[in-house]
A and B are shown apart, each in its own frame.
Chain A
Amino acid sequence: MFKKDISPGSKSKVKSSVQRAIRNQIVTTYPLLAPHIDEIIPKKEQLDAMKIPDRVTLYLLSSTPLFYQHMTDALLPHLRLVHRFPTCFPSIRIDRGAIRFVLSGATLMAPGLTSTGGRLPSGDGEEKGGYGEHGGREGEEEKDGREGWYGGRELEKGEPVVVCAEGKEEACAVGILSMGTKEVKEKGKGPVVEEGHYLGDGLWRLVTE
């Protein structure tokens, strides 16, 4: 989505009512972020919105990018925010071989997740890092030795997800699942996250002063 460089548009102030709505939306979409919401968007602070191409709105707090939103889709966190709160988002992990493709803007494909270096939610809901919900353990048998710290609950199609990388500390991409994680495991091929925001793309390099 942001393969090309974006030139910063004009910032406009967000109405306080809209700001409240955004806060609520963030808390409902990312329940794990709830304890930190006051740190991310302090109640008294003025949010800014910046319009960037493709009908995307970027929400900023002074000059820190927080979330971006395509039309009225789900609010997706900017990677800088993900780096600040790495454990508050549902995430999946790709293997090392896939990193370079993702960082050049390719669609994330299933084999990068199902190989030994990749991680998907295990489905049994015990792990830290994911949602607190305890999803059903629906016929989930993983390869042995798979340390699953990527949340217990299976993620559905259309859910926002953070993409981490094998052997790396920080997340490398953010996007919306175009295939549920359960299906990914069953099928093992096809696109999983299309058109995301990745390290080094236009949105990442966007100068917000």
Chain B
Amino acid sequence: MADTEAEAVLPTEPQSRHVVYCGVCSLPPEYCEFGGTVKKCQDWLQKNHAEMYDRLWSEDALAAATSTLSVDAQKRAEKDAHKKALKAEAAEQKHLQTIAASKVTIKRVERNKRKFVTTVTGLEAFGLENKKVAKDLGKKFATGASVTKVPSGGEEIVVQGDVSEEIEEFLLEKYPVIPEDNVELVEDKKKKGAGAG
């Protein structure tokens, strides 16, 4: 560990240093142990920066790192890390669950006899931003697309014109986070169709 420290304090570095960040938790790899996704980080590092992995996770390094702490503190830190890992795992599971459970609804709403608007709801659950998606949709179909508030709370994207099928295709292609089965096409004759779904 000593030589790495010396590296960090080299005062006459003409150019900025390039720092490797973990691809899993985005921290510098030496801090992965505090991130809660230690196992995954380790795998990532081993795959991508094997030399760094050997340095950081070798027996010596681990021993040196823990030797300065008292046994008691070590135990506490371990417990804490364990808790954190569990938490991170639980959060991930929950996230997956919400993704599996939530649906994107694409609704065709008749506005005026032969005129339609298409509304899209439920994108938030997939971590997408309505505003941005609306902009993309508008660009893609060259129509007006806006985000409006729904009386029942929440937001929906309103796209002018009947483009429901195209939207489905576009969403599935552009955002792979959305599973195909979770997109629903609904046709709605009445103006207000809130409450469904």
Contacts and interface: CB of A to CB of B under 8 A. Distances in A.
Contacts of B166: none
B27 interface: yes
Given A87-B10, A100-B77, A128-B9, A167 B64 contact: yes
Of listed B4, B9, B129, residue having the most chain A CB within 10 A: B9
Given A83-B28, A129-B11, A149-B9, A170 B34 contact: no
Which secondary structure characterizes the binding site on chain B? loop
Contacts of B19: 80, 83-84, 170
A87 B77 contact: no
Interface string A9-28: 00000000000000000000
B19 to A, nearest CB: 4
Given A96-B69, A170-B30, A199-B28, A86 B1 contact: no
A167 B34 CA distance: 14
Q: Chain A, interface size: which category?
A: 20 to 34
Contacts of A129: 9, 11
Interface of A: 7, 36, 39-40, 80, 83-87, 95-97, 99-100, 103, 116-117, 128-129, 149, 166-170, 172, 199-200, 204-205
The 5 closest A-B pairs by CB, nearest first: A84-B16, A83-B19, A170-B28, A169-B8, A103-B34
25 contacts: A7-B129, A36-B16, A39-B15, A85-B16, A86-B8, A87-B10, A87-B13, A95-B68, A96-B68, A99-B31, A100-B34, A100-B77, A103-B34, A166-B68, A168-B28, A168-B31, A169-B5, A169-B8, A170-B31, A199-B27, A199-B28, A200-B34, A200-B35, A204-B26, A204-B27
